[in-house]
Copies of this chain bind each other. A is one copy, B any other.
Amino acid sequence: MSAVPVYADIEAAARRIAPHVRVTPVLSAASLDELAGCRLHFKCENFQRAGAFKFRGACNAVWSLPDAIAARGVVTHSSGNHGAALALAAKTRGIPAHVVVPAGAVATKLAAIARAGAAVHECAPTLAARDAMAAELERTTGATLVHPFTDPRVIAGQGTAARELLEQAGPLDALIAPIGGGGLIGGSAIAARALAPAIRLFAAEPEGAADAHASLAAGRRVADLVPETICDGLRATLGEINFALLRAHGVEVLLASDVETVAAMRLVFERLKIVVEPSSAIALAAILRHRARFAGLRVGVILTGGNVDPDRLPWQS
């Protein structure tokens, strides 16, 4: 695997993770198509193991390691879906997982990480403290760091969702996925360009965490924004390699507000009968806000995750 993944890496990842991941269904709803003015094919990664597409990348990283190195375990920093996904991926290989989380992280998410069998290590809620603790764990345990979105093995694994979607849904004119650090859209862009060279590629980003949008506009990576959005899975800053992939594959970033995202989440609940996180629903929100971009097209939409507290639906608060 090279530093920047290519399509062959995604094919290899698909073969590698096939025994472990779920082939998630693609759903659609006539009433949503009418509303959006295009034909929507929703790839339901909220049904993926551990509740999100993150399991694909984590699983590819874990199963890419040579036996001797794998035996020493893996380590990452994430208080969200990547942490739980890496924990579960490590479990599929029977190796230890260490997850560094900032003090004050959401209790239900921590519980999910612990339930999957990982050791949870709490650190001060700063980037420096987080990186220091992860590095310390690498040193002391010999575990391999699996970064949530810049690791090429992770990016290649995430790309398998778009590959599967294109196989399942047939020809698509456009593909949209949410963007946080850029691992999913990076892998998706590689896969989609290889399988459908003329496809239009979009990333959906919260207005309150619009660093990818700003980066493409500025022509350089903007890494100093402070995120403020309900989309807790999209607060990370775009990675270098991810920024390069966005530019290489001509991905356009579309913004949506939190209000639009919550409305889209409610629509998905009501029309598709499924549960998605705000960080997933933003893709539909972006389509509805920028509908002229999608008019009449066959659009693939990656619904990334469904880890939602049933007692705290955002449209009810």
Q: What string of 1s and 0s marks CB contacts (under 8 Å) between A68-86 and chain B?
A: 0000000000000000000
**CB <8 Å contact, B273 and A47:** yes
A273 contacts which of B30, B51, B266, B315 (Cβ < 8 Å)?
Answer: B51
A-B contact pairs, 6 of them (CB 8 A): A25-B25, A273-B308, A274-B274, A275-B275, A311-B315, A313-B313
**Shortest beta-carbon distance from A89 to chain B in Å:** 14
Q: What string of 1s and 0s marks CB contacts (under 8 Å) between A272-285 and chain B?
A: 11111000000000
**CB <8 Å contact, B315 and A313:** no
Q: How far is the CA of A273 from the CA of B315 in the complex (A)?
A: 17
**CB <8 Å contact, A310 and B269:** yes
**CB <8 Å contact, B266 and A310:** yes
Q: What string of 1s and 0s marks CB contacts (under 8 Å) between A2-42 and chain B?
A: 00000000000000000000000101001000000000000
Q: How far is the CA of A275 from the CA of B51 in the complex (A)?
A: 15
Q: How far is the CA of A273 from the CA of B275 in the complex (A)?
A: 5
**CB <8 Å contact, B310 and A315:** yes
Q: How far is the CA of A5 from the CA of B121 in the complex (A)?
A: 61
Chain B residues near A306 (CB-CB < 8 A): 273
**Shortest beta-carbon distance from A275 to chain B in Å:** 4
**Shortest beta-carbon distance from A249 to chain B in Å:** 29
Q: How far is the CA of A196 from the CA of B228 in the complex (A)?
A: 55
Asked if A46 lies at the interface with its beta carbon under 8 angstroms from chain B, I say yes
Q: How many residues of A contact B (CB 8 A)?
A: 22
Q: What string of 1s and 0s marks CB contacts (under 8 Å) between A120-155 and chain B?
A: 000000000000000000000000000000000000
Chain B residues near A276 (CB-CB < 8 A): 273
**CB <8 Å contact, B275 and A269:** yes
Q: How far is the CA of A134 from the CA of B276 in the complex (A)?
A: 41
Asked if A270 lies at the interface with its beta carbon under 8 angstroms from chain B, I say yes
**Shortest beta-carbon distance from A243 to chain B in Å:** 31
**Shortest beta-carbon distance from A311 to chain B in Å:** 7
Chain B residues near A274 (CB-CB < 8 A): 273-275
**Shortest beta-carbon distance from A95 to chain B in Å:** 19
Excluding A25-B27, A313-B313, 7 further A-B contacts by CB distance (< 8 Å) are A25-B25, A27-B47, A270-B310, A273-B274, A273-B308, A310-B315, A311-B315
**Which interface residue of A30, A273, A274 has the most chain B CB atoms within 10 A?**
A273
Chain B residues near A51 (CB-CB < 8 A): 273
The A264-317 residues at the B interface (CB cut-off 8 A) are 266, 269-270, 272-276, 306, 308, 310-311, 313, 315-316
**Shortest beta-carbon distance from A28 to chain B in Å:** 9
